[in-house]
Amino acid sequence: MNERDSEMISSQLQCAGYELTDNEKIADVVILNTCSVREQAEIKALGKAGYLARRKRINPNFKIGIVGCMAENFGEKLFKLNGAIDFVIGPKRLHELVNVLESNGQSLHIGDPQRQHFSHDFDRKLGKNKCTAFLSIMHGCNMRCTYCVVPKTRGNEQYRPMEDIVGEAEFLAGNGIREITLLGQIVNNYGGRLMPMIDGKTPFVQLLERLNVLPGIERIRYMSPHPQNFSDDLILAHKNLSKLCPSVHLPIQSGSNRILAAMRRPYTSDRILTIVAKLRKAIPSVGISTDIIVGYPGETEKDFEETVALFDIAKFNMAFIFKYSPREGTRSAELVDDVEESEKERRNQILLQRVQKASLRYHQQFLGKTMEVLVEGHARRGTDMMFGWTPNHCKVLFKASENDIGKISPVQIDSSTTTILSGTVMKNAQGKSLVQR
Ligand code: 5AD
Ligand code: SF4
């Protein structure tokens, strides 16, 4: 979501006549788009702002902005922590950026704006050779998971009209984008109770169906769904919609029912296992990944063992594992953060090993097979190795040329590690890739 917001920031500024540079040292303005989900990310952003402040002593016209969730979370306090910061803009007011930049003196823009804008209210400036894009379908979150700062920084759920989303997808398709990733805090809540179910299908699945028939768009992904509303229509959509990729990132947070209840996550480990089993039955090669928090207040060894047991059954082929970090203003911040850092790290390592084992196994099933890979770019600068992703979200390295970017190529898989596959592009007698869409 931050990546999409950053793209919107740069599009907005380019439309206003600013130029983007990849050399921070010559920039007149540096904007840090921040994350508040964990404390570590905030510490890093403050460190970077401190480093930038030194430049201001040499060039007083140089501007520093802090935007995003940390801006919302810290507010005025940021100016006290670092007097060199010029402006602070929360995620709901990013559209005010150009006006803010044109004014002088320190300024704070947080809280709800008079009118909520969506990022797509601005022309998109897509980078050169881009074939994938994020597409926001909603903002905010109505859940109140005890550990999470997002509802505080991004506000309540708001859905974008379906027509607008489809319109933006058409625009993206017309500008070389082959793969779209629908974004929202809980994408499968899209439409909430404001949009009706049709033929037993949720608004989210209705949206997927509309996008599935758009010419030019070859792949559709989404991030992230919530286990609570992961309904059968969505599982069926995975089976029936040809462009919907067989890959699901399903954040579960814990495998212990006691901890899930403490976190106010409204489901049990059985529910997760049911979703995983149904998905694997519908598409046997589906990739399933997750988010987990280790060391939530009061998480005992037994609770943790339940998460390990769930991992052993679910066999997630990828997981983001986070050590619990108390966030001011959340409910769990009032609890004692009683799991030692070293114990959080131990639990983190145990789960990482489980995931690596599952991921290696998952990857090995594709050895010798030919997979469709969307060629995204150079693997490393100055080499002819390119990288791309399979529909089930495996990263693949292979030899190809820059002209292949944006094409879906058949790649025969020769080797695999826990994180990546390598292979050879299959060509026919005319030297054309076997799969051309
Ligand atoms: N501490 C650690 N991890 C967190 N996450 C959210 N809040 C916290 C927190 N306070 C993780 C969750 C979420 C992901 C984006 O970040 O796993 O799914
Ligand atoms: Fe945060 Fe929970 Fe909403 Fe996800 S569902 S953004 S974890 S409050």
**Encoding tokens for residue 284?**
């046997």
Nearest to 255 by CA among 291, 315, 303: 303
Measured from the Cβ of residue 373, the count of other Cβ atoms closer than 10 Å reads: 30
Question: How far does CA 431 lie from the centroid of its chain?
Answer: 36
Buried b (16+ CB within 10 A) or exposed e, 381-415: eeeeebbbbbbbbbbbbbebeeebbbbbbbbbbee
Give yes or no for residue 227 CB within 6 A of ligand 2.
no
- CATH class of segment(s) 129-245: alpha beta
Distance 88 CA to ligand 2 centre (A): 24
Looking at residue 129, its pLDDT comes to 86
Please determine, looking at this structure, whether the domain spanning 252-363 carries the CATH number 3.30.750.200.
Answer: yes
Q: Are 296 and 254 in contact (CB under 8 A)?
A: yes
8 A C-beta contact, residue 86 and residue 92: no
- Whether 37 is in the pocket of ligand 1, judged by its Cβ within 6 Å, is yes
In this structure, the residue with its CA closest to atom 1 of ligand 2 is 148
Domain boundaries, the chain: 2-109, 129-245, 252-363, 370-425
- What angle, 0 to 180 degrees and rounded to 10, lies between the N-to-C axes of helices 269-282 and 232-240? 20
Instruction: Tell me, using a 6 A CB cutoff, whether residue 265 lines ligand 1.
Output: no
Q: Write down the pLDDT at residue 156.
A: 92
The b/e string for 188-208 (b: 16+ C-beta within 10 A; e otherwise) is: bbbbeeebeeeeebbbbbbbb
- Identify the bridge partners of residue 53 per DSSP, sorted by sequence position: none
Which CATH architecture group holds 370-425?
Beta Barrel (2.40)
Is the Cβ–Cβ distance between 67 and 34 less than 8 Å? yes
Q: pLDDT tens for the chain, 437 residues: list them.
A: 999 999 999 999 999 999 999 899 999 999 999 999 999 999 999 999 999 999 988 888 999 999 999 999 999 999 999 999 999 999 989 989 999 999 888 999 998 876 666 555 567 888 888 999 999 999 999 999 999 999 998 889 999 999 999 999 999 999 999 999 999 999 999 999 899 999 999 999 999 999 999 999 999 999 999 999 999 999 999 999 999 999 999 999 999 999 999 999 999 999 999 999 999 999 999 999 999 999 999 999 999 999 999 999 999 999 999 999 999 999 999 999 999 999 999 999 999 999 999 999 999 999 999 999 999 999 986 678 999 999 999 999 999 998 999 999 999 999 999 999 999 999 865 656 555 33
| Cβ–Cβ under 8 Å, residues 374 and 389 | yes
CB distance 337 to ligand 1 below 6 Å: no
pLDDT of residue 396: 97
- For residue 113, the model assigns a pLDDT of 75
> Ligand 2 pocket, 145 CB below 6 A?
yes
Ligand 1 pocket mutation pick from 152, 293, 299, 337 by most atoms within 8 angstroms of CB: 293
Same fold, 129-245 and 370-425: no
Range 2-109 classified under CATH 3.20.20.140: no
Q: Is the CB of 143 under 6 A from ligand 2?
A: yes
pLDDT at 431: 57
Residue nearest to atom 14 of ligand 1 (CA): 291
Q: Report CA dihedral (425, 428, 431, 433) to the nearest 10 degrees.
A: -50
| Partners of 373 in beta bridges | 409
